[in-house]
Each structure stands twice: as C-alpha cells, then as structure tokens.
Amino acid sequence: MSKPVEHDYIGLSEQPLPSMEKRSGDTNAEKSGLRLKDTELRLGLPGSESPEREDRDQNVLSLKSFVSGAKRGFSDALDGGGKWVFAGGSGGGSEGLFSPRRGGNNNEGNDLSGSDSGLKDGVAPKPLVVQEKKSQVAAGNGNTAPASNRAQVVGWPPIRSFRKNTMASHPPKNDDNAEAKFGSGCLYVKVSMDGAPYLRKVDLKIYGGYKELSSALEKMFSCFTIGQCGSHGVSSRDGLSESRLKDLLHGSEYVLTYEDKDGDWMLVGDVPWEMFTNCCKRLRIMKSTEAIGLAPRAMEKCKNRT
C-alpha cells in the first residue's frame, strides 16, 4: 500500500475582516469569495475519495429561496430514506426528527448508509421566520401532527432533562395547553435489560407505537445478547445477530415489561399506546421465566383508571 501523501491543509487564505459597521446588505452572494472547492483540497487517504461538497450557497438561508428549498430538501430526504419514525402518526408526540439522517436516538429502522454520501445534508428544514411556513413543512412531509408543536430535535433547545421532566409532570396551572406543549416535549424513561451492564434511556414520544419502540430497543440492546459488550468495545454485529435478538424478543427468551405510575410491573403491549406512554415510568427487558403472571392485570388496571 502506498504511503499516504500529506497535503498542506493550511491553504485557506484569510480575507481582511470588514469593519462591522457596514454590514447592511451582506447577502449570501457577496459572501467571502473563498470556496474551499477552489483550493482543491482533498483528504488524500489512499483508496478513498473525499466527499464532493454540495454547493453550500444553496443552503445558506436567504428568506426568498428558503421555503421552497427547504421543503424540497426535507421531502427528498423522506422519499429517499427508509421508513420514518412518524410513519405511524399517532398524533401528538410523533412529529419525528428534524435531523433526518440520524437523531442520535436510535431510530435505526432506516438504514441510510446507501444515501449517505458522507455529507451533513445541507437540508435545513426550518427556521420558520414566518409562522405559516411551519405548518406547510409539517404538512409537506405527511405528518398529521398539529402545527402547535415544533418538530423535535434531539437535545434542542438545550434544556436539561431534570428541568424538562419537572415542568412536564407538573405543568403551570394557568396555562391550559401546557400539558400538551411541555408534556409532549419528550418523555425519557430508563430501559434496563437483565444481564446488561448499564441502562439506556429512550424518549417514548418519538415512537409512533409499540412496533417502533420494540424495533428500536432491539437495535439498542442487540449487542448485549450477543455477549460482545465487553470493555474492549469490539462489537461483531451483523444481520444474523440482529435477527437473532428479534427472535429472542419475539420468541420466548425475553419479554418487554414496564413499571407504571403505581409501581407495578406490567407486560408491554396490552393497552393502547397513548395510555401506555402516559403511565410508563420505566422499561425492563426481562427474562420470560421471571415474567409470569404479569399480563392479565394490565387491562383490568387500566379499566379501573379514570
């Protein structure tokens, strides 16, 4: 193999910094003439092509071009990709994600490696400076959720979980819609698996139903059943192993259970999804042998609830 050639990356020329006072009318077009493409820098690793960069100018927002560009970009991502979390569309919480490729929250149902050209998509599906546009975009992607809540981006706005959970569980009394708003922000519950060395957290609001939740959990915990989650960080996941976990979950070895607001452990799946997200406090992937006698009580309990 040939020795990789090092390139001088410091070919980025500096332009004199304009004084800040005369900033009016600085549009995208007059932006610094510096285009990295022009300097023809490449990574230079043997056997790899450096990613072609999309012309970024399209994506730097000027209001005029913004709306149509954004809509196109977002729905392209939708059409191109696999199934999306909000395909289930059960109202409220399932707006789905802003960052279409990956939200860092385990919606691995869609494998994007095919469409992934190594770019961060310049897709900028929002900054709705004008309010109506928001519902347009929302409608444009087939989302049935009401436009009263912005689509969720993981970790944005940057508010700690403690604050989110505190405000969500006891919304301000004067604000009638608060429960709907803050409450639908996110709902992180802990997920433990018998035998796994650590817990995970999932946001129940991003799943449309049981199927999506189950498949996300399968992906998240598949490494544990394969026994590769040691301290050396080598995971030999492959298709075979994932389907093995699926069999495990759907078969007899593990069941998915949850602790409800009363502290009782129930089997997941017996009650309507909305009811489940309202009363689920935490999840546990339990060995079936330990889960005897859980199922029958679920429906009864919920019937007794007002």
Partner 1 sequence: MHKKMAFSFPDEVLEHVFSFIQSDKDRNSVSLVCKSWYEIERWCRRKVFVGNCYAVSPRMVIKRFPEFRSIELKGKPHFADFNLVPDGWGGYVFPWIVEMAGAVPWLEEIKLKRMVVTDESLELIAKSFKNFKVLILSSCEGFSTDGLAAIAASCKNLKELDLRDCEVDDLSGHWLSHFPDTYTSLVALNISCLGSDEVSLSALERLVGRCTSLKTLRLNRAVPLDKVANILRRAPQLVEFGTGTYAAELRPDVYSDFAGAFSSCKELKSLSGFWDVVPDYLPAIYPVCSKLTSLNLSYATIQSPELIKLVSHCPNLQRLLVLDYIEDSGLEALASSCKDLQELRVFPSDPFGVEPNVSLTEQGLVAVSSGCPKLQSVLYFCRRMSNEALVTVAKNCPNFTRFRLCIIEPRTADYLTLEPLDVGFGAIVQYCKDLQRLSLSGLLTDRVFEYIGTYAKKLEMLSVAFAGDSDLGLHHVLSGCESLRKLEIRDCPFGDKALLANAAKLETMRSLWMSSCAVSFGACKLLAQKMPRLNVEVIDERGPPDSRPESCSVDKLYIYRTVAGSRFDMPPFVWTMEDDPSLQLS
- Region 69-108 residues binding partner 1, contact defined as CB under 8 A: 98-99, 101-102, 104-106, 108
Q: Residue 146: is the preceding peptide bond cis (ω within 30°)? A: no
- The pair of structure tokens assigned to 177 is 């819609």
Residue 154 interacting with partner 1 (CB under 8 A): yes
Min dist CB 302 to partner 1, Å, is 22
Buried b (16+ CB within 10 A) or exposed e, 85-111: bbbbbbeebbbbbbbbeebebbbbbbe
Residue among 12, 115, 137 at smallest CA distance from 70: 137
Residue that has been written with the tokens 């817990």 in this structure: 199
In terms of CB distance, is 127 or 142 closer to partner 1?
127
40 binds partner 1 (CB under 8 A): no
Q: In terms of CB distance, is 164 or 244 closer to partner 1?
A: 164
CB 303 to partner 1: min, Å: 25
Q: Is the Cβ of residue 36 or residue 299 nearer to partner 1 in the bound state?
A: 36
Tell which residue, 218, 215, 216, 221, has the closest CA to residue 197. Answer: 221
How many residues touch partner 1 (CB under 8 A)? Answer: 104
For the segment 231-290, give every residue that binds partner 1 (CB under 8 A).
231-235, 237
Q: Choose the stretch contacting partner 1; rule: CB under 8 A; options: 77-85, 129-137, 248-256, 267-275.
A: 129-137
Beta-bridge partner residues of 201: 190
Site string for partner 1, 155-174 (x = CB under 8 A): xxxxxxxxxx-xx--x-xxx
Q: Does 223 bind partner 1 (CB under 8 A)?
A: yes
Our finding on whether 59 is near partner 1 (CB under 8 A) is: yes
DSSP string covering 19-60, please?
PTT--TT--STTS-S--TTTTT-----TT-PPPPPP-GGGGS
CB of residue 207 vs partner 1: minimum separation in angstroms?
A: 15
* Segment interacting with partner 1 (CB under 8 A) among 191-199, 251-259, 283-291, 298-306: 191-199
Which residues, in sequence order, are CB contacts of 239 under 8 Å at separation 6+? Answer: none
Q: Residues 134, 202, 117, CA angle at the centre, nearest 5°?
A: 60
- 24 is a site residue for partner 1 (CB under 8 A): yes
Q: How far is the CB of 301 from partner 1 (least distance, A)?
A: 20
Q: Which of residues 131-150 bind partner 1 (CB under 8 A)?
A: 131, 134, 147-150
Residues 6+ away with beta carbon under 8 Å from 62: 27, 28
Q: Which one of the spans 76-84, 216-224, 267-275, 290-298 is the region binding partner 1 (CB under 8 A)? A: 216-224
